[in-house]
Amino acid sequence: MHLARAIVVLPNDPEKRMRLLVRTANMEEPKWAYPCLPPGVRTLPRPNESVWVMHSTSGELVWVGVDPAFSEGQEADAAP
């Protein structure tokens, strides 16, 4: 599995499943990412905030946390 930085495009999931619409540097179009969060966490990042994403074994995009060290407004890129 590959871990990458993504920028939140839209945090308002129309299906109310806590998904985020995100983009990475190598995505042509933003994609929905499903949450993988500890129990009780209900806070979503805002647009333009950076999150960590990865692909599940079934190919779905999953967001696993916020990257507070990554500056707002920078381009998303692959993780180091």
At 1 the pLDDT is 60
Between 14 and 73, whose confidence is greater? Answer: 14
Q: How many Å apart are CA 75 and CA 22, to the nearest integer?
A: 12
pLDDT digits (tens, 9 = 90+) for 12-56: 999 999 999 999 988 899 999 999 988 988 889 999 999 999 998
Whether 78 shows a pLDDT value over 50: the answer reads no
At 80 the pLDDT is 37
Whether 57 shows a pLDDT value over 50: the answer reads yes
Please, what is the Cα angle at 77 between 42 and 80, to 5 degrees?
Answer: 95
At 2 the pLDDT is 81
